[in-house]
Amino acid sequence: MEQNELIPGLAGVAAAKSEISYIDGEAGQLEYRGIDILELTECSNFLETAYMLIYGNLPNAAELKKWNDTIVRRQKLKFRIVDIMKNLPDSTHPMSVLQAMIAILGAFYTDANYSEDFEYDTITRLIAKMPVVMANWMRMRRGDEPIRAREELTFSENILLMFSGKTPDAEIAKILDKCLILHAEHTMNASTFATLVVGSTLADPYKVISAALGSLSGPLHGGANEEVIKMLMEIGEPKNAKAYIAKKLKNKEKIMGFGHRVYKTYDPRAVELEKLLKRVVEIKGESRLYKIAKEVEKHSLEHLRQKGVYPNVDFYSGCIYHLLGIPTEFFTSVFAVARTAGWLAHWREYKADNKLFRPVQVYTGKIGEKYKFMDER
């Protein structure tokens, strides 16, 4: 690479070394710490997977109990934070609320010495409180009182409880838990890079995760699963899918939920999510969206398969969240709840051998201009 050569979007530029996750885009393979993602959805749960991502190994029984107990115990908010949320406009997007409240958490939990205990406390606190902020905001904006998490429930059971106010079906909660595993980490991307850049300044983890949330909130990163649901609703019926896709492709418009910069075959997360969606449909008895999605997949692949464009992680996840009763505008927030584990893993890994990010620019402006006084302009 020539000195000061411009690489738009840093495409293909290695920004860091990492042992956290691995992708083989040609084979459609994703691993966390060397373990295939599909094995983790089968054998693990979200909190155990989060621990492994962050600390590099699967926890033993004592470590896992401490980890689970600490997170469940911290699934509550200080009343002052709740009061701040109550004063936000009802129209505030959930991602804006998450970003603001996570940053504000840093004002309540500080440690000038930045001890090892502080790091553990901060990591568990962020994982614990992210879904509480999300669920509280959903209830507040429609005039309902927040529901407190219950210590006897699992992490994912509590998410559904705090959303609906009802004790969730255990199998449905396990399906949500698998979705969280699938969204927990995915190597380098815009929000992970934001995590590293802000973390490299030695900003505290609350500001680091707040920056990652800001990055994820953009429509070119998070939010694609929201657009998938809007597309399926617009199509309306399975029989309309063929004509809809043909028109989109004729107009050279993007099919939402298709294509990935890395995967040139099926995204392994999409394969698993399709299976999970099918099971949710069986439990709920609501198949319309699933049937529309399958028709969209069928007719899209007739044209896109030869280009290496396949369904991605967003295509089926939105359908699952919709059937679980999660409002569409909260889909990206659910993504953030899961991805917090990956962000914290990268933050912790990078700071072990930290170097401040200081890129250069390619200047394209004028040189040697003279100041013009007002009467000369």
Distances (CA, A) of 155 to 69, 164, 351: 10, 15, 28
Distances (CA, A) of 310 to 23, 231, 275, 332, 374: 16, 17, 16, 21, 58
Is the pLDDT at 213 greater than 60? The verdict is: yes
In eight-state DSSP terms, residue 188 is S
pLDDT tens, position by position, 144-192: 999 999 999 999 999 999 999 999 999 999 999 999 999 999 999 999 9
H/E segment holding residue 293: helix 288-304
The band of 3, judged by pLDDT with boundaries at 50, 70 and 90, is: low
Active site residue 221: no
CB within 8 A of 337, min separation 6: which ones? 130, 131, 134, 159, 180
Query: Burial code of 67-84, b = ≥16 C-beta within 10 A, e = fewer?
Result: bbebbbebbbbeeebbee
- Of the residues 260, 299, 322, 346, which is catalytic? 260
Instruction: Residue 350: name the closest of 19, 22, 26, 46 by CA.
Output: 19
| pLDDT the model gives residue 115 | 73
In eight-state DSSP terms, residue 32 is E
Distances (CA, A) of 83 to 77, 78, 80, 86, 140: 10, 9, 5, 5, 11
More confident residue, 112 or 101: 101
pLDDT tens, position by position, 65-80: 999 999 999 999 999 9
Please count the residues of the chain: 377
> Under CATH, which number does the domain 224-323 receive?
1.10.230.10
- Of the residues 186, 204, 314, 346, which is catalytic? 314
Whether this prediction's pTM lies above 0.75 is answered by yes
Domain-wise residue ranges, the chain: 36-220+327-351, 224-323
Decide if 36-220+327-351 and 224-323 have a common fold: no
CATH architecture, domain 36-220+327-351: Orthogonal Bundle (1.10)
In eight-state DSSP terms, residue 258 is B
| pLDDT the model gives residue 1 | 47
Active site residue 90: no
3-state secondary structure of 53: helix
Nearest-Å Rg of the Cα atoms of the chain is 22
Distances (CA, A) of 338 to 64, 95, 148, 235, 307: 18, 14, 20, 29, 30
Dist. CA 191–CA 213, nearest whole Å: 7
Compute the average pLDDT of residues 263-283.
94
State CA 174 to chain mean position distance.
18
